[in-house]
Amino acid sequence: MEDLKDFYDANPSIFADRHLYLLRNLSKGRASVSSSSNRQLPPDFIVWQLVAGCQHVAFIDPKGVRNIR
């Protein structure tokens, strides 16, 4: 997430006409967001980007679900 912030700070012209939101997803057992395909592994972060009236949502899990056992 530090890389995302560094990119955001270094490229103000890219984000001049967009809004970017980064949310930390809550832990399991609380009101968290998860995919419909695997409710046991909610993502760590949610990134919302608003561009020209459209929303783009990305679910970010830096550790990757393949590393969880």
Q: 18-40 pLDDT, tens per residue?
A: 999 998 877 655 555 555 555 56
What's the chain's average pLDDT?
79
User: Residue 61 has what pLDDT?
Assistant: 78
The answer as to whether 41 is a domain residue is yes
43 Cβ partners below 8 Å, 6+ apart? 25, 33, 34, 35, 59, 60, 61
User: Is 27 a member of any domain?
Assistant: yes
DSSP output for the chain: -HHHHHHHHH-TTTTTTEEEEEEEPPPTTSS----SS-TTS--SEEEEEEETTEEEEEEE-TT-GGG--
pTM for the structure as a whole:
0.64
Report the domain count for the chain. Answer: 1
Supply the pLDDT for residue 32.
55
Token couple for 29: 């057992």
Domain enclosing residue 19, as ranges: 2-64
